[in-house]
Amino acid sequence: MRDEQPVYFDPAFRFYFGGQGAWQVFHHKDVQRVLSDYEVFSNEYMPKSDDNLLGSNLNQTDPPRHRQLRALVTKAFSPSIVSKMESWIRKECNELLEPHLQKGEMNFVKACSIPLPGRVTAQLLGVPNQDHDQVNAWINAISSDLAVIGMDAYFQAQQEMGKLFMTLLEERSKQPRADLISHLLQAEIDGEKLSLPDILAFCIALLIAGNETTNGFLANAMYTFATLPAVQAHLATNIKDLPSALNEVLRYEPPVQSMCRIATMDVELGGQHIKKGDLMNVWLTAANRDPSVFTDPDTFKINRDNIKMVSFGHGPHYCIGAMLARMEAKIAFEIIFEKMKNIQLKPGQAPIRNPSTIVAGFLDLPIVFEQK
């Protein structure tokens, strides 16, 4: 598609929020333009309604409102805060992996890549431990393919998650703690505090973005390392190259496949006439393997220069949690390569990929390994 129809209208394409019909964008330069030019390609594409809490979250606003909302939460993802979580994340990783080491096998998604990001974002927000499994189920429903789960399940998950956060917001308004929910309750924009719907939308958006994408990142990294034994062998003796290898995983198998925008005016892109109100779907996966930007793009190269990859987005909506996601993955695989070797996909038990056009990851990833 990138070679033959780099900007193509697909009338049957369905989005997770119910929208149908969209321009599919595949070239790196066009993907970058759509993601960065918010005045022409707006991020406020989702219908706003009382049922759809996500319609007003941080990800669904453009500057200047987006800039104000982003400033409120940037503090929670600052290098100093993220670095303070390092020892806690290391402890959580060890705790998740320990029960499986002697057995020499695990379903990596169920054992590690789902629970770890869930615990990290819950720690940031202040969600009680006993609610983690239920929250993960809601997140899965909200980010699944609507053609599979249906609109009712999508909205029900939002509403149920909203009830949990309303309870937490009421508790924190009476007794603030050192968590992001308390911070958002006290934060102000131009002298005004955030509304409860704004805070609710942000909390849900953070859980989805923080959990689903990092789960995909971890699972895609494990799949890549398990199926590329030469890369795995290199990292086993050159752990200093792990950050570079994980960076290449982000380009090679990005956890987010595509992003949506809506045209605010008639515009030409890639020789096609886009009309005001048309939905756009830009493919990060295609942009990350554009041979005009990345030499030999289908080959995994540990020390490749990936400065132009778009795995965390591009422009004003660049992923606010990118540093945290990188740290989670680095810690997880430092521990994995310290305790495990000869990691392979489990014979006779094929991995099951996530059926989503948004999040690229796995529902099941059975692996076998030797304990070090």
Residue 88 forms part of a structural domain: yes
Q: pLDDT tens digits for 347-364?
A: 999 999 988 888 889 999
What's the whole-number mean pLDDT along residues 270-284? 96
Residue 350 forms part of a structural domain: yes
- Output the pLDDT for position 318: 82
Instruction: Please name the residue that has the structure tokens 């521990």.
Output: 335
Task: Give the phi and the psi of residue 157 in degrees, each rounded to 5.
Answer: -60, -40
- Output the pLDDT for position 59: 65
Instruction: Report d(CA 343, CA 79) in Å as an integer.
Output: 32
Region label for 135, one of left (φ > 0), alpha (ψ between -120 and 50) or beta (otherwise) = alpha
Instruction: Please name the residue that has the structure tokens 């007003």.
Output: 56
Mean pLDDT of the chain: 88
Residue 120 forms part of a structural domain: yes
Number of domains in the chain: 1
Region label for 21, one of left (φ > 0), alpha (ψ between -120 and 50) or beta (otherwise) = left
pLDDT at 15 over 90: no
Whether the model pTM is above 0.85: yes
Task: Give the phi and the psi of residue 362 in degrees, each rounded to 5.
Answer: -135, 145
Residue 17 forms part of a structural domain: yes
Residue 301 forms part of a structural domain: yes
pLDDT at 340 over 90: yes
- Output the pLDDT for position 145: 60
pLDDT at 46 over 70: yes
Sheet containing 41-42: order of strands: 7-14, 20-25, 279-283, 258-263, 41-42
- Output the pLDDT for position 51: 52
Residue 1 forms part of a structural domain: no
CA 290 to chain centre: 21
Instruction: Report d(CA 62, CA 132) in Å as an integer.
Output: 31
Q: pLDDT tens digits for 223-263?
A: 999 999 999 999 999 999 999 999 999 999 999 999 999 99
The domain in which residue 316 lies consists of 7-371
- Output the pLDDT for position 69: 73
Residue 143 confidence class, pLDDT cut points 50, 70, 90: low
- Output the pLDDT for position 351: 97
Residue 281 forms part of a structural domain: yes
Question: Collapsing DSSP states into helix, strand and coil, what is residue 343?
Answer: strand
DSSP state at residue 59: G
User: Residue 348: which CATH number?
Assistant: 1.10.630.10
Instruction: Please name the residue that has the structure tokens 């990936």.
Output: 306
Instruction: Report d(CA 48, CA 31) in Å as an integer.
Output: 25
Strands (E), the chain: 7-14, 20-25, 41-42, 105-107, 188-189, 192-193, 258-263, 267-269, 272-274, 279-283, 340-345, 352-353, 362-364, 366-371
Residue 240 forms part of a structural domain: yes
Q: pLDDT tens digits for 186-196?
A: 877 777 777 78
Q: pLDDT tens digits for 164-191?
A: 888 999 999 899 987 888 888 887 777 7
What is the CB-side half-sphere exposure of residue 104 using CA atoms within 13 A?
6
